[in-house]
Structure formats: C-alpha cells, structure tokens
Chains A and B, each alone.
Chain A
Amino acid sequence: SAVISQKPSRDICQRGTSLTIQCQVDSQVTMMFWYRQQPGQSLTLIATANQGSEATYESGFVIDKFPISRPNLTFSTLTVSNMSPEDSSIYLCSVGGLALIAGNEQFFGPGTRLTVL
C-alpha cells in the first residue's frame, strides 16, 4: 500500500484568491490523480498528473483554473485558481500503479476541505 498525505487538510479562502494543495506519497508511483468531491456527490476526476509532462484534464476542467504540477514520482500539487464559492469542495489526491502492487486499485489521501467565501 501507500501512505498519502495532503496539505492543507482544510482551508477557508476568499473569492478571487488561489490555493495550492500538496500531495505527498511515501513511495514512487506511476499515476497520481486529483478528484473533487462536492457535498453529497460522487467523485469527479479532475485530471491525471503526469510526471514530466502536462496533466491530462477531464472534460469540464482546464489548466488555467486547475494548474497541476508533478515534479517527481512522489509529489504533486493542484492549484485552484481565482476561486469562487462554487469551488467549495473536498479535493482528493490518489495514486495508482504502485510498483509493488499487482492489482490496479487506487489509494487515496485524506482530502482537503476547501470553503470559498
């Protein structure tokens, strides 16, 4: 398995500002993903963070709004830019494709609870 941490765990931000969320894994992983989970809703994949190249974004999400970095195999950041109250959500980091894990499951971070006023 993998131990995943996220910072911050929660934040309250003002409209128009930006927040960068960090995701750290204790082992090298092939795939890192960023999800959004709005209250009472399922997970929505924002993007796949690719090491050494631009992230791959899902429909409805764009790089200008959610820039992602993946400088190495254990770390990624997601920035929520020019925030509005509609961005209030839980943002989850997950990893998959662990070298030592035969299965194809994902492991999740604890999430970052964002509230935009």
Chain B
Amino acid sequence: AQRVTQPEKLLSVFKGAPVELKCNYSYSGSPELFWYVQYSRQRLQLLLRHISRESIKGFTADLNKGETSFHLKKPFAQEEDSAMYYCAPPTGNQFYFGTGTSLTVIP
C-alpha cells in the first residue's frame, strides 16, 4: 500500500508568517502525490498535484526523493488558509490519506 505520514496534527502560524505542512511517503518507485484541502463547511478538494509543479493559492510542494517528502509550503500565510490539509497518494486499489494537518492562521 502507498502510505503517507503527516507528523503534525495541528499547526498554528501568524498571518504573514511562512508555513510548511509536512508530508512523508513510505514507498519506493516514482511516487505521484497530491495535497487536498478542506475549508470549514466545504467539501474536500484537490489543492495541487506534484506532477504539474503548479502553485495554487500561493502554495507549492516539491517532491524530495532523497528525503521521501512532499512538504506543502507558502511564504506568507493568510487567514483564509486556515483549513484541514491532507497529503495523499494517487487513486488506486489501495489508497490511504495522511492523517491530516489542521492549519490555523492567527490574525
């Protein structure tokens, strides 16, 4: 099974501060990873996928094969970034989300 680990269940940062949400994966090969976000009272939705190397809402995530990590970063956190963030491998027969990190941006 392709598994990911998010070591931080809760993370609080001040508005304007940099934020990094950690994600580590534990399988070999060429991983394909995603970050999902769930804002309050909204459905879970895709934030970004590593394969496209995109930046969404100021967030980026770089796959580091040496460290087997896919951390989500944003240089300046905004209050609207407060949400639950999940790291996840691709859809497949065995698909397990990370445990999620609840991000709170303090005004």
A94 to B43, CA, bound (A): 11
Whether B99 contacts A105 by the Cβ 8 Å rule is no
Residues of B at under 8 Å CB distance from A? 32, 34, 36, 43-46, 49, 51-52, 86, 88, 90-93, 95-100
User: Inside 8 A of A106's CB, which chain B residues have their CB?
Assistant: 36, 46, 88, 91, 95
Whether B32 contacts A104 by the Cβ 8 Å rule is yes
The residue on B at minimum CB distance from A94 is B44
Number of interface residues of A (CB under 8 A): 20
* Contacts A43-B44, A104-B90, A106-B95 known; 14 new A-B pairs at CB < 8 A: A42-B100, A43-B97, A56-B93, A96-B91, A97-B91, A103-B51, A103-B52, A103-B90, A104-B32, A105-B46, A106-B36, A106-B46, A106-B88, A107-B46
How many A-B pairs have beta carbons closer than 8 Å: the answer is 48
